[in-house]
Amino acid sequence: MELIYGHPKSLKPIQTKYCPGCGHGVIHRLITEVIDELGMQQKSVILNPVGCSIWASIYFDFDSVQVPHGRTPAGATGVKRMLPDHLVICYQGDGDLAAIGTAEAVHAANRGEKFTTIFVNNAIYGMTGGQMAPTTLVGQKATTAPYGRDPVEAGMGYPIRVLEMFATLEGTRYLARGAVNNAANTRKTKQYIKKAFEAQLRGEGSTMVEILSQCPTNWAMDPVESVEWVESDMIPFYKLGEIKDELQGSAVKEAAK
Amino acid sequence: MADEKRLMKGNEAMGEAAVRAGCDAYFGYPITPQNELTAYMAKHMLDHKRVFIQAESEVSAINMVYGAAATGARSMTSSSSPGISLKQEGISYACGADVPIVVINVARSGPGLGGISPAQGDYFQSTRGGGHGDYFHIVLAPKSVQEAADLTFEAFDLADEWRMPAMVLADGMIGQMMEGVVLPQPKDPATRVAKPWASGNRPAGRPVNHVDSTHLVPEEFEQANIARYKRYDEMKKTLVRYEEQHVEDADLILAAYGTSARVCLGAMQMARKLGLKVGLFRPITLWPFPEKRLGELAGKRFLTVEMSMGQMVEDVRLHTRGKSEVSFYGRCGGMIPTEEDVLAEIRRILKK
Ligand SMILES: Cc1ncc(C[n+]2csc(CCOP(=O)(O)OP(=O)(O)O)c2C)c(N)n1
Ligand code: SF4
Ligand SMILES: [Mg+2]
């Protein structure tokens, strides 16, 4: 009998350390499914960030390089420049990408570095216990925004829409935003990841998939409430879809239509 | 066939030595007094179809170096003091993950922005593991353009062999001055140390490689650190390098490295002409420090000369174990001691 759905080869068959309802585990699964589909297990390297997803060495059955908090795109630049025929994945949280590592992320994208960033936006610092992230919504509570994020009185700034900002950079070729709060969004997100990985393997330039992800623990919600909150609060602010698609591959497809 | 002697700036000679050592990737950020090195690498790495990136900061540059080296490539950066401070995060990670990289510090005066003139105020930072955590790394201190080229070339081999960062601690004087230099013959890639631990190009059947400094289990982490320190002990036995002149009959030994050792050599020769029994002890590896040899010389009088307020002098005192009287003479802020200054100090100490 043909097996049509099973555990991805690139993902080790172990239980994750993630909290119930966390998005990271689902995202790991999507990445590894696509790696398997592309037959890239032996030629993939993931740069795992400092954050809840630090555990690449436990989960992934392909090589990895772990870098300091926020330096993920710099490390990925070094890896991809030396291994141009590999699939290089720069996995980042919102604190990692949009706070401490903003400079690295912007400049790697601007240089058109040919790796793919998987940007996990859970609107919070997960690992350190629920501090405000650059992507925390206005009014959303965090341990360091106990009365909710207040951009005006408390001067806490506004949530950053990373993809819209990166869309202005000429080095970026493909920017898409998905979510893993329900089956339909999860399937769509997998398509974005696959499109980005394929573009990377064609050497097309900077690609990034932002994924809205649940952190029930630090949102003080149960898993069901958290997937609903992504729908009710996050998606209205962080619009899903392909924010920028300047891939040659896509242009060819368009022309064929 | 050996190369002919060429007249070169220290910064350029170090760049050419790195190219010949087989540096696969260079990542840098502009800062005086090492800019000629970055510019040299830009031209020559691109000419050789190797990787050169002018990064957005030193923080980024060192992590690019780390990423490239994690794949097994020979990778380096260069900077000067304030920039080296920013690189300490990446250096700590490279030490924690046992990743060989090469870092050149063409040091200037500090603290803070300080000035762009040569100084030796980064001795503590370089030799004590300048970032967080328990570690050391190789530190090589050239005194001339020739030695700057030779040590840069060798730094790549040493880093690979010992799986750790190798730093060349030069200063603005060595970086900026021109001298005759015979460059080393290009390294044959076939003689490179194998790196089975590197990420990427995983053959079927090889277990995954994770280049990683994370250790969240204290028992395991302690063991990993202990193993690393065993390697350090081994290095202290085999890697130590220094130069000595007339130490055996000396009434006073000048202890100095890099540019200040050059000044001391002149001062020593002047003193000898006056009949004063002065010697010179010049550490070339600042880490591992020639502690054993200093222990053997314990009992002799020392004058440590540095372009700082006194940093290496602490190591000279430590390793002569209280048996030597150790004096210090230093200039700082970008000032360089003259041979006459040092001679005057020698005469004051020897009362002659
Ligand atoms: C230099 C440095 N500063 C701070 C930290 C502490 N720290 C670890 S993870 C983290 C935030 C992680 O948040 P995010 O990137 O959003 O990832 P998440 O855990 O939410 O997936 C911080 C601040 C660190 N490890 N290193
Ligand atoms: S704290 Fe949040 S991001 Fe971290 S594992 Fe738990 S749910 Fe996931
Ligand atoms: Mg987060």
pLDDT at A254: 64
Strands B6-9 and B178-181: antiparallel
A66 contacts B97? CB cut-off 8 A: yes
| Range(s) within chain B of domains with CATH label 3.40.50.970 | 6-191
pLDDT at B258: 98
CA distance B175 to B33: 7
Six token digits for residue A79: 């890896």
Six token digits for residue B17: 């030595």
Residue type, A14: I
Q: What are the DSSP calls for B307-347, one per residue?
A: SSSSSHHHHHHHHTTTSS-EEEEE--TT----HHHHHHHHH
pLDDT at A56: 83
Q: What share of chain B is helix, strand, coil (3-state, %, to 5)?
A: 40, 20, 40
Element (H, E) at B175: helix B172-176
pLDDT at A1: 74
pLDDT at A2: 79
pLDDT at A57: 82
Averaged pLDDT for residues B162-169: 98
Long-range contacts of B320-327 (CB under 8 A, 24+ apart): B320/B294, B320/B295, B321/B295, B323/B298, B323/B299, B324/B297, B324/B298, B324/B299, B324/B300, B325/B301, B326/B255, B326/B301, B326/B302, B327/B301, B327/B302, B327/B303
Per residue in B247-275, pLDDT (tens digit) is 999 999 999 999 999 999 999 999 999 99
DSSP 8-state class, residue B122: T
CA distance B69 to B93: 12
Ligand 3 centre and the CA of A72: distance in Å?
Answer: 14
Residue type, A168: T
B51 touches chain A (CB under 8 A): yes
Query: Domain A24-256 belongs to what topology?
Result: Rossmann fold (3.40.50)
- As its CATH architecture, domain B243-350 has 3-Layer(aba) Sandwich (3.40)
Mean per-residue pLDDT of chain B: 97
Q: What are the DSSP calls for B245-290, one per residue?
A: ES-TT-SEEEE--HHHHHHHHHHHHHHHHTT--EEEEEESEEES--
B56 touches chain A (CB under 8 A): yes
Q: What is the CA radius of gyration of chain A?
A: 17
Which residues have a Cβ under 8 Å from the Cβ of B296 and sit 6 or more positions away? Answer: none
A57 contacts B214? CB cut-off 8 A: yes
Strands B326-330 and A172-179: unpaired
Six token digits for residue A73: 């795109």
pLDDT at B1 over 60: no
| Range(s) within chain B of domains with CATH label 3.40.50.920 | 243-350
Task: Identify whether the C-beta of residue A132 lies closer than 8 Å to the C-beta of residue A118.
Answer: no
Per residue in B223-256, pLDDT (tens digit) is 999 999 999 999 999 999 999 999 999 999 999 9
Phi (first) and psi of residue A207, to 5 degrees = -130, 140
CATH class label, B6-191 = alpha beta
Torsion of CA B185, B190, B196, B201, to 10 degrees: 110
Q: Which residues line ligand 1 (CB under 6 A)?
A: A 50-53, 69, 93-96, 120, 122, 124-128, 133
A-proximal residues of B, 117-176, CB under 8 Å = none
Closest among A21, A95, A94, A15 to A55, alpha carbons compared: A15
Chain centroid offset of residue A60 CA: 16
B27 pairs with which residues across the strands? B53
pLDDT at B102 over 80: yes
Q: Give me the residues of chain A with pLDDT under 70, please.
A: 252-257
Q: Give a three-class secondary structure readout of chain A.
A: CCCCCCCCCCECCCCCCCCCCCHHHHHHHHHHHHHHHHCCHHHEEEEECCCHHHCHHHHECCEEEECCCCCHHHHHHHHHHHCCCCEEEEEEEHHHHHHHCHHHHHHHHHCCCCCEEEEEECCCECCCCCECCCCCCECCCECCECCCECCCCCCCCCCCCHHHHHCCCCCEEEEEEEECCCHHHHHHHHHHHHHHHHHHHCCCCEEEEEEECCCHHHHCCCHHHHHHHHHHHHHHHCCCEEEEECCHHHHHHHHHC
A82 contacts B200? CB cut-off 8 A: yes
CA distance B248 to A125: 63
From A26, A52, A213, the mutation candidate for ligand 2 (largest count of ligand atoms within 8 A of CB) is A52
Chain centroid offset of residue B123 CA: 9
Ligand 2 nearest atom to the CA of residue A93, by list position: 3
Six token digits for residue B126: 């370089």
Element (H, E) at B4: none
Task: Identify whether the C-beta of residue B252 lies closer than 8 Å to the C-beta of residue B350.
Answer: yes
pLDDT at B135 over 70: yes
DSSP 8-state class, residue B191: G
Domain coordinates of chain A in residue numbers?
A: 24-256
Task: Give percent of chain B above pLDDT 90.
Answer: 98
Most A CBs within 10 A among B51, B210, B214, B216, hence the mutation to make, goes to B210
B244 pairs with which residues across the strands? B281
Per residue in A233-245, pLDDT (tens digit) is 999 999 999 999 9
Ligand 1 centre and the CA of A135: distance in Å?
Answer: 14
Beta-strand ranges (E) seen in B135-277 are: 138-140, 166-171, 178-181, 210-211, 242-245, 252-255
Q: Which residues line ligand 2 (CB under 6 A)?
A: A 18-19, 22, 24, 52, 122, 126-127, 215-218
Residues of B in contact with A66 (CB under 8 A): 97, 210-214
A-proximal residues of B, 4-33, CB under 8 Å = 24-25, 27
Does ipTM exceed 0.95? yes
Averaged pLDDT for residues B133-141: 98
pLDDT at B317 over 90: yes
Nearest CA to ligand 1 atom 11: A125
pLDDT at B3: 77
Six token digits for residue B137: 């790394």
CA distance A234 to B13: 56
CA distance A194 to A132: 31
Phi (first) and psi of residue B279, to 5 degrees = -120, 175
- Closest in A66, A77, A81 to B210, CB measured: A66
Which residues have a Cβ under 8 Å from the Cβ of A6 and sit 6 or more positions away? Answer: none
Largest CA distance in chain A: 64
Phi (first) and psi of residue B348, to 5 degrees = -65, -45
